[in-house]
């Protein structure tokens, strides 16, 4: 039996031996300046994955843990082999907290899973390296041993836990042992019976002595050029270089400063001709912080001003054990529905947030706070304050450099707003990251006296209540996150591979007079209905997004098209296309690079070429357009389809016959767009000297 301090029942003791939270990145060797990719972290010589097969055995309680499994000589050959990351199904998964509620205590018979992995350090890692062991996600708490010595303790399911293990490592084989508790005092904050264990990736990093510990990058854009302010903190003094690269990998600026061991240094990087980041044009830069033999890459951007009322929300419950390809397909599906923002209900995999910056999705990230009704008093208890705050601080510190993040939140539980510990989280965010907003829950709902969906109230009363609430949103600048009472929702449940809810902010712009839900001609009390009828002043029925499933095996998302057209901007598709023109004798070819996330693009083509001219568009990889007829700009010329391939490719309009000095214009917009005068357009112009130029713009 192993002697353990009962940290798992003490809300004041949240970690032991854990490295303080910092911005997420992967170290690379600091060779020649080139673009580095944290999503391809396996390509770094400073990284080694420990995901894969681990020896595992589940014990009925912590007292049953054997004393020898943590030592290199301990026999675990009879143990099962478990793949990491993965989760162990939770008993009572349909309950909010699957045990008797008595915070901060948990049952004696809480299951404990013991994990063991033997490994050798790469020979290329010199002895002067500092070795860090990283658990990207453990549910719900864990103890860590290296070669029989206790290294530390951590809790917080969706948050990374990093430990320096150098003092306990030896030459040759080393043993890492982890004991994971199914529940701990933190389970009262999470309130769901999700699978537990080592639920995200595990790896080790080789850091150089005196390495950069944390970087905070903020974009500043004035009347002239833009600049990035880099605040660098290191474990040792020395020269630090910051290198700014554009999306093509070309160096834009480079500056150096000397950092002291006692405090951070500031480095400013200038962007003479900056390009802004937005969901329709997610242009990102990379900043490399280089110190000694190590380089840390960060994906950054200069976010353009945005109109909160035009966001289209998808609410996503982050899942564990997803590959980069799975995360990309998930976010691509949201983009194909014209979504521009997601609300993460819980701390997500850091690579998912990185992908949101690259694919172009606004993100409001929420800490893992979901307290059962029976013990919500802990949200006002000062004993629990540090437990609340730590979940917020670790999340913010990890993702603070991501350009896609536009707000932080404390979950979707509307009953917690105004509680003392939630207020402390909000105040900390306002001090630490004042540029981003705090996203409350309660203020996004209607007052109970005028609630839509809570009581069957009359047409005029509902309409007035909605108007009042919309005025509050306008004056307070609140992001509309949850909309059961006003719009619609659907929920796949805990048994599905993912949980999703969708709301349509743009629906309030298109149907400003929608006032209540009805089913079978009668007012509906509550929101748990399968079909919603929304009325405007005409009135006119609108059916959409019922029993929709995304990412569920065997389910065909038949309503995807409805979502796509429901959430498209009135002026056309939010899509930025980069054109290239080349001239060969009497032929001009227009190349369009289409974003990789587009599976299908329905567009109308118009041009000013004379009658009789036509073009056939094709690609040997399967991307194709057909029946492209060039005619007067006042007429719809043709309809084309674009289908997804493995990579972003160019669509080429061939046989586009032209004469020098003749202006050509190509319009792209959804085939069902409502705004006849609002198109995304590309306007190539043939100049008198035979050269070619173009103008490109968004919806206008």
More confident residue, 484 or 147: 147
Ordered DSSP codes for 126-194: -TT-EEEEEES-EESEEEEEETTEEEEEEE-TTS-EEEE-GGG--SSEEEEEEEEES--TTHHHH-S--
Whether residue 182 is found in the same domain as residue 121: yes
Least confident range from 93-97, 246-250, 285-289, 648-652: namely: 648-652
Residues 485 and 339 in one domain: yes
The boundaries of the domain holding residue 406 are 308-445+478-510+543-566
Question: Which of 292, 327, 347 is a domain's end point?
Answer: 292
- Is residue 398 within 8 Å of 344, Cβ to Cβ? no
Q: Is the pLDDT of residue 140 over 70?
A: yes
- Is residue 357 domain-shared with residue 280, that is, in the same domain? no
467 in a structural domain? no
pLDDT, tens digit (0-9, with 9 covering 90-100), for 374-423: 888 999 999 999 999 999 999 999 999 999 998 898 876 767 878 999 99
In this structure, the answer to whether residues 334 and 195 fall within a common structural domain is no
- What is the CATH classification number for the domain harbouring 85? 2.60.120.260
What is the structure's pLDDT at 242?
A: 97
CATH code, domain with 395: 3.20.20.80
3-state secondary structure of 479: coil
Q: Residues 6 or more apart from 662 whose CB is under 8 A from it?
A: 608, 609, 686
Examine residue 521 and state whether it is found in any structural domain, yes or no. Answer: no
Q: Mean pLDDT across the stretch 235-244?
A: 95
**Mean pLDDT to the nearest integer, 449-470:** 35
Q: Contact at 8 Å (CB) between 360 and 280?
A: yes
436 close to 219: Cβ distance less than 8 angstroms:
no
- Cα separation, 639 vs 663, whole angstroms: 22
Give per-residue pLDDT as tens, 296-327. 999 999 987 665 544 445 555 555 556 788 78
In the chain, the number of structural domains is: 4
Q: Both 222 and 317 in a single domain?
A: no
**Co-location of 200 and 225 in the same domain:** no
- Full DSSP string of 590-658: EEEE--TT-SB--EEE---PPTT-EEEE--TTS--EEEEE---TTS--EEE--B--SS--EEEE---B-
Distance CA 299, CA 244 (A): 10
In this structure, what CATH number is given to the domain that contains residue 283? 2.60.40.10
Q: Is there a cis peptide before residue 197, judged by omega within 30 degrees of 0? A: no
Higher-confidence residue: 548 or 311? 311
Q: What 3-state DSSP class applies to 4?
A: coil
Among 157, 185, 207, the domain-final residue is 207
Q: Is the pLDDT of residue 194 over 90?
A: no
Average per-residue pLDDT for the chain: 68
Q: Which pLDDT band holds residue 334 (cuts at 50, 70, 90)?
A: confident
Average pLDDT in the 188-217 region? 90
Instruction: Give which of 269, 164, 259, 277 is closest to 217, Cα–Cα.
Output: 269
pLDDT tens per residue across span 557-582: 334 444 444 444 433 333 333 333 33
Q: Are residues 117 and 229 in the same domain?
A: no
Q: Are residues 277 and 134 part of one domain? A: no
Task: Round to whole Å and give the CA distance between 387 and 186.
Answer: 8
Q: Are residues 334 and 483 in the same domain?
A: yes
């Amino acid at each position: 039996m192993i002697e353990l301090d009962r940290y798992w029942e003490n809300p004041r003791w949240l970690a032991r031996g854990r490295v303080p939270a910092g911005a997420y990145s992967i170290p690379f060797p600091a060779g020649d300046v080139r673009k580095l990719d944290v999503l391809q972290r396996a390509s770094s010589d400073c990284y080694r994955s420990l995901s894969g097969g681990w020896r595992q055995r589940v014990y009925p309680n912590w007292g049953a843990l054997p004393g020898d499994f943590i030592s290199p000589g301990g026999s675990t050959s009879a143990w099962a082999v478990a793949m990491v990351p993965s989760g162990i199904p939770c008993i009572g998964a349909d309950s909010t907290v699957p045990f008797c509620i008595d915070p901060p205590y948990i049952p004696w018979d809480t299951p404990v899973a013991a994990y063991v992995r033997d490994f050798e350090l790469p020979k290329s890692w010199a002895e002067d390296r500092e070795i860090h062991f990283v658990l990207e996600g453990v549910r719900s708490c864990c103890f860590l041993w290296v070669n029989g010595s206790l290294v530390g303790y951590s809790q917080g399911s969706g948050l990374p836990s990093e430990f320096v293990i150098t003092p306990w490592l030896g030459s040759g084989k080393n043993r890492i042992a982890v004991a994971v508790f199914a529940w701990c005092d933190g389970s009262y904050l999470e309130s769901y019976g999700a699978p537990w264990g080592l639920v995200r990736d595990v790896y080790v990093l080789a850091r150089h002595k005196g390495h950069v510990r944390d970087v905070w990058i903020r974009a500043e854009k004035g009347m002239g050029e833009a600049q990035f302010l880099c605040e660098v903190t290191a474990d040792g003094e020395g020269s630090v270089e910051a290198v700014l690269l554009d999306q093509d990998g070309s160096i834009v600026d480079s500056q150096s400063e000397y950092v002291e061991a006692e405090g951070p240094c500031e480095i400013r990087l200038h962007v003479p001709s900056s390009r802004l980041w937005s969901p329709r044009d997610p242009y990102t830069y990379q900043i490399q912080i280089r110190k000694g033999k190590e380089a840390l890459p960060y994906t950054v951007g200069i976010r353009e001003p945005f109109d909160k009322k035009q966001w289209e929300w998808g609410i996503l419950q982050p899942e564990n054990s997803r590959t980069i390809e799975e995360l990309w397909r998930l976010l691509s599906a949201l983009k194909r529905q014209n979504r521009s923002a997601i609300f993460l209900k819980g701390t997500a995999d850091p690579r998912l947030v990185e992908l949101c910056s690259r694919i172009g999705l606004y993100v409001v990230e929420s800490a893992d706070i979901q307290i059962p009704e029976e013990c919500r008093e802990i949200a006002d208890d000062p004993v629990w304050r540090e437990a609340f705050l730590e979940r917020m601080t670790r999340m913010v510190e990890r993702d603070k450099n991501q350009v896609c993040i536009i707000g932080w939140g404390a979950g979707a539980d509307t009953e917690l707003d105004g509680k003392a510990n939630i207020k402390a989280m909000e105040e900390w965010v306002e001090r630490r990251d004042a540029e981003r907003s705090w996203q409350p829950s309660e203020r996004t709902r209607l007052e109970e006296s005028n609630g839509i969906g809570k009581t069957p109230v009359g047409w005029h009363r509902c309409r007035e209540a909605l108007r009042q609430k919309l005025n509050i949103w306008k004056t307070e600048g609140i992001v509309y996150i949850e909309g059961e009472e006003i719009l619609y929702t659907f929920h796949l449940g805990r048994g599905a591979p993912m949980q999703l809810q969708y709301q349509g902010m743009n629906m309030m712009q298109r149907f400003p007079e929608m006032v209540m839900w009805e089913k079978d001609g009668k007012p509906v009390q509550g929101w748990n209905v399968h079909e919603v009828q929304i009325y405007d002043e005409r009135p006119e029925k609108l059916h959409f997004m019922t029993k929709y499933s995304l990412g569920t095996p065997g389910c065909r998302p038949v309503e995807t098209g409805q979502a796509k057209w429901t959430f498209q901007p009135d002026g056309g598709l939010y899509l930025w296309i980069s054109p290239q023109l080349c001239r060969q004798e009497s032929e001009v070819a227009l190349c369009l690079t289409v974003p990789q996330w587009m599976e299908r693009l329905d567009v109308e083509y118009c041009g000013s070429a004379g009658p009789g001219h036509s073009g056939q568009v094709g690609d040997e990889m399967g991307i194709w357009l057909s029946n492209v007829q060039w005619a007067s700009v006042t007429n719809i010329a043709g309809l084309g389809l674009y289908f997804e391939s493995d990579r972003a490719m160019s669509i080429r309009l061939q046989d586009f016959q032209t004469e020098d000095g003749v202006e050509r214009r190509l319009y792209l917009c959804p085939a069902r767009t409502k705004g006849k005068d609002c198109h995304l357009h590309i306007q190539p112009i043939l100049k008198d000297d035979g050269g070619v130029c173009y103008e490109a713009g968004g919806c206008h």
